[in-house]
Structure 1
């Protein structure tokens, strides 16, 4: 089994914010000083050597540049809330974006605020088009799309998770595509997907990752979060180092000695890392994210015609296919019906003993029924059980 160890170099940006009262009661005069790392840091030839820093306020955005070891100062700022964004770029490679980060600070009249700002320079980052770059390799078809940027009370009537109550859905983003074999292997160091049923006309690495269990999806999310400098969402007793966690240590059956701790896995939705969408989030995105829109009640995600949006038994020849080849729904999300089945996170409303973990059916074997209908929408499975057609897509909480 291949094992990836991703080197991460840490550059520390120290942001000092200060301001003072001006004559006549004016609150202008605050300043932000950003000190950039210098020669004491060791960079490979592929790492960043240039920084772009932006200070974003309510009425204006100021952008400045500096090389390593430089100092950027923003003066004559109004007191108030600001976001400081920093980008590390490679000036020798057409200013390619290497890493980025942001931090919210507050300039208060009459006070001085020192705010440490850490930017991780690594070989893993989000490219400008939203794709994920792992070990300096851009993984295609890996972007996320914002489903809602505000809290929504969703009535999922007629859907798979309809229990007669409204669901509170917080701001979140979801993967435009199912997690591909390429991305899964880049993060986990292994591609357990079946090698059968190859479709030569398609890019096989861009087929959905399959033959994985629900627990493997959880591990993937935590490892991806760490690689991207984010906070892991999932906690399992006895596991502290997710970056070094070995794929072969994931429970493969209900009789594994450590399966009890895995069954008590918890998810912290306040963390900014990657995770599985909840059942309600998954369906809200599949139905287009707007309860007043026509497509909210479509039979399939994005269309009333399965052939437009879904690989199913009538079109797929019972094979998985490259993600994103058919039409997306209104949000730009592909394959929410058809292709791989998709694991989701199930909360206490959808628990079923040790099979409380829940996943949504695809249309692989349905020819005439909508996957958004209760009778075909979901089922419970042992979270250590795997199958060729089972995959997942990722989500993130938006703060």
Structure 2
């Protein structure tokens, strides 16, 4: 099967080109003009839509096995495809936790059986995500782990993190840390500050994140490990990462769309849809994250897609689960907020959501070129679409972005040359 994508705006090597792209089987065969001579089986006139490398998300939660009432691999990956993601990395906070070789292999088999997109699996850093027993990192790497994370749980003991970093450095894989010092966390539900006081809700101190970032950066310097900071949310954390890079520490960091798009002032009341971990921070923190993306301190954008049931997110923030979905709307929301306003170049946004995460984590993705896998996202930058709950393919509904009008929704998504998503509103 061959498909010719005609009249698109193709993103290649950091630049946009008005060219055509030919898919043959699972690969990109050619990019250029006059490709009709190959007599493709199908020709799709894109009418100027953006043709981008399939987006790469290194931080999602698919909840299977153990919590399939929240999400499954099939529904989560369908949502990812709708958002233009063709390569996704899933966190290990499922049941059973993939913290040994046998369990990890079973998880990978389940991923491959059920996913619509390419799926890479994190292994846990420690047994059961909460213990101080570091996993068999060498065995897990041989089983296919690309990185280690206890996401959702911060590693509390410095000695445990030091041992984990030494082992990860030895096997040559990253440690991706949910930075949270529980002794400073105080069981809060939103950012500690004036807005929390106005709502009468317990706050989460920013230092609960930045203090552990500081600790881990020193340990990373000592061990030489590739240390990655998940969902950075405070201005202090951004500055620590910036300083660490100046010192030559092997650190990378990600920002989540919700922390870039919202701050604590946007929380409209005691509403569980605004409860996430780390929480929406201050206006100043939000500005620091944006500056960090623009100057290269923060290396990439990752969604932290975290679906929950309606019951788990309803009502009082004190009782609601932490988490927000985002893989279906991330690109469109960010494009509308930052690119349409002129605050960020389209090329930078695409780089942060495709090439950069792939390069930094050694994933074969994020590039359009002849001979490469035909993992392609087509976005409509010119037409507005309302984010409608009825259109979600994820089981999750827990996002405050429902009802927003956005540009840049996905029109088509191809994974290994196969059309896995077509937007009924925008594809024609």
TM range (shorter): under 0.3
Higher strand share: 1
What TM-score results when the alignment is normalised by the length of structure 2? 0.22
What TM-score results when the alignment is normalised by the length of structure 1? 0.23
Higher helix share: 2
Answer with 1 or 2: which has the greater Rg.
1
Using CA pairs under 8 Å that are at least 6 residues apart, name the structure with larger relative contact order, 1 or 2: 2
